[in-house]
Structure 1
Amino acid sequence: MAAAADRTIPDLIAPGLDVLFVGINPGLWSAATGCHFARPGNRFWPALHRGGFTPRQLHPGEQGELLGWGLGITNMVARASARADELTAEELLAGADILAGKVERYRPRWVAVVGVTAYRIGFARPKATFGPQPELLGGARLWVLPNPSGLNAHFTPETLGAAFGELRAATTAG
C-alpha cells in the first residue's frame, strides 16, 4: 500500500449530475485499486444504498454505474494518504477552490461533502454542521454528510444510511 501514497484516482463526473459526492481524499486502498471508497470497512457504498440512492449495494468496482443514476464522485484533495488527518489546511483550502471549478464546469444540482471537518477547513466554515448548508457552490446546493470511513466510529451503518437518506429526500423534493 505504501506504493499508493500520493497517487490520485480519476473523478467519476459528468455534466448535470443530481449529486456529486466529494470525499476528503483517496485512501491508499482506493489509490491502489483506482476505485473510490474502496477500502473494506468503508461504509460509503452501504450508506449510499441504505439512503436510497442505489437499488442495491454496489461494490467499489461497480462505481461507473453511478453516472447512470445521476451520481458522481470526486475528492477535496486528489493525493492519496493513509488517513485524512495527514492533509494540511492549505491542501483542503486549495482543494475547495479546485472543487468550485469542477462544480462550475459540470453543474451538478447538489454537492455532498463527506466529512464535516474537511468542509469546515476547506470552506472556512468553522461552525458548519451536518446537513444542508446556507451557501451555494457554483450554483449547486451544498450538503455535508458524515465521513463514511471505518475510522469514524461516531456513526453506525444505520445512522450513516439515515444521513444519506436525508440528502436523498432533499434531492427529490426539488
Structure 2
Amino acid sequence: MPHPNPRPSREELAAAADKTLPDVIATGLDVLFVGINPGLWSAATGWHFARPGNRFWPALHRSGFTPRLLHPSEQDVLPGLGLGITNLVARASARADELTAAELVAGARELTDKVARYRPRWVAVVGVTAYRVGFARPRADFGRQREPLAGADLWVLPNPSGLNAHYTPVSLAAAFAALREAARDT
C-alpha cells in the first residue's frame, strides 16, 4: 500500500532497507523499464523512482512516453500506457553500489524469466554498469543491444538518479526519446 506521507521519516527510511516493491507490470507491454534496485525512499513510500531528485518521471514525460508529468504515486497508470516497471535486484538499499555482483547476476536471470513470462516488446534497463555486470556484457554501451532478452528487444538507458551527474535532464530525456522512437518504429 502506498505510503500516506510522501516524505518518509528518517526512521521509516532506515526501516525500508531490504524491503521490496511490487512490480508495475502486465502482459504484452510496449516497454518494461528495469531499475537497478529500489532506493530507501521508494521502498518506504511504495512508489518506484520516488526519491525527490530522481529524473525518471520527468524523462518519461519529456521523451513523450507519458502525456503529462506523473507523480510516482500514479505509477499504476503506466500499464494503461503500455509501460511497466520492475527492478534488476528486488531489495532496497540506500545506494545501488551496495549491491553485489552475485545479486546483479541472479537478478538478470530472474529478469529473463519475468520477460519470458510477461512478453514485453522492449526491455529498458536504466543503468549501464548494472547491466554490464548482471548480464556479463562488460563492453555494453547505451542504446539498443544486439542480443534480445527472452524475445524482447533490449535497450540500456542512463540511470535517472540525481546522483548521475553525467546526464542533464535534457540529455536524459533525449536518451529516453531515442528508445521511444525505436519502440514506435517496431
TM class, shorter-chain normalised? over 0.9
Find the counterpart in structure 2 of residue 144 from structure 1. Answer: 156
Identical counterparts, % of pairs: 77
Whole-angstrom CA distance in 1 between matches of 2:172 and 2:78: 19
* TM-superposition CA deviations, 1:62-91 (whole Å, max 9, x none): 000101000000000000000000000000
Whole-angstrom CA distance in 2 between matches of 1:50 and 1:145: 15
Whole-angstrom CA distance in 1 between matches of 2:62 and 2:155: 17
Structure 1 residue 32: deviation in Å? 0.1
Verify: 1:32 aligned to 2:63, yes or no: no
Whole-angstrom CA distance in 1 between matches of 2:27 and 2:79: 10
Find the counterpart in structure 2 of residue 120 from structure 1. Answer: 132
Structure 2 unaligned segments of length 5 or more: list them.
1-12
Find the counterpart in structure 2 of residue 74 from structure 1. Answer: 86
Query: Higher relative CO (CA 8 A, sep ≥ 6), structure 1 or 2?
Result: 1
Find the counterpart in structure 1 of residue 102 from structure 2. Answer: 90
Structure 1 unaligned segments of length 5 or more: list them.
none
Structure 1 residue 38: deviation in Å? 0.2
Q: Which residue identity lines up with residue 117 of structure 1 in the other structure?
A: T
Find the counterpart in structure 1 of residue 10 from structure 2. Answer: none
> Secondary structure in 1 aligned to 2:19?
coil
Find the counterpart in structure 2 of residue 159 from structure 1. Answer: 171
TM-score of the pair, normalised by structure 1:
1.00
Q: Which residue identity lines up with residue 41 of structure 1 in the other structure?
A: G
> Secondary structure in 1 aligned to 2:144?
strand
Whole-angstrom CA distance in 2 between matches of 1:120 and 1:45: 24
Whole-angstrom CA distance in 2 between matches of 1:88 and 1:146: 20
Whole-angstrom CA distance in 2 between matches of 1:59 and 1:103: 26
Find the counterpart in structure 2 of residue 52 from structure 1. Answer: 64
TM-score of the pair, normalised by structure 2:
0.93
* TM-superposition CA deviations, 1:94-130 (whole Å, max 9, x none): 0000000000000000000000000000000000000
Give structure 1 regions of 4+ aligned residues with deviation exceeding 6 angstroms.
none
Count how many residue pairs are aligned between Structure 1 and Structure 2: 174
Structure 1 residue 149: deviation in Å? 0.3
- Greater Cα radius of gyration, structure 1 or 2: 2
